[in-house]
């Protein structure tokens, strides 16, 4: 299914797509267990992936509006109190 079709997919298909994306990320993570100098540690990168999903989906009170949501509206708090300070980059 392409991106345009996914925008109109039901919750069951979206749930499967998120599970597939997570599994894909874990497969890539297994391939890159050692971290070269100057590159963020793998566990931090995986944590940031999870943080992005939580920030833009789980904590977004307007997520049902899709691309019409107001990104400037406040989000819910993270399940980890220090998550935003740890993972948020300027301009996210």
Q: Are residues 53 and 72 in the same domain?
A: yes
Reading the block at residue 35, the tokens are 């971290």
Both 21 and 39 in a single domain? no
Q: What is the pLDDT of residues 10-31, one digit of tens each?
A: 888 888 888 998 899 888 878 7
- 87 and 46 co-located in one domain: yes
Answer positive or negative: Cα dihedral of 57, 63, 68, 70.
negative
CA 61, CA 74: separation in Å to the nearest integer? 8
Buried b (16+ CB within 10 A) or exposed e, 5-44: eeeeeeeeeeeeeeeeeeeeeeeeeeeeeeeeeeeeeeee
Number of structural domains the chain divides into: 2
pLDDT of residue 1: 59
Domain residues for the domain of 77 are 35-92
Shared-domain flag, residues 69 and 90: yes
Same domain, 42 and 16: no
């Amino acid at each position: 299914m392409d991106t345009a079709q996914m925008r109109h997919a039901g919750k069951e298909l979206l749930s499967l797509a998120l599970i597939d994306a997570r599994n894909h990320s874990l497969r890539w993570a297994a391939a890159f267990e050692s971290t070269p100098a100057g590159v963020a540690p793998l566990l931090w990168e995986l944590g940031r992936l999870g943080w992005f999903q939580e920030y833009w989906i789980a904590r977004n009170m307007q997520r049902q509006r899709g691309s019409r949501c107001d990104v400037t509206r406040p989000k819910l708090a993270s399940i980890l109190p220090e998550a935003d300070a740890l993972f948020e980059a300027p301009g996210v």
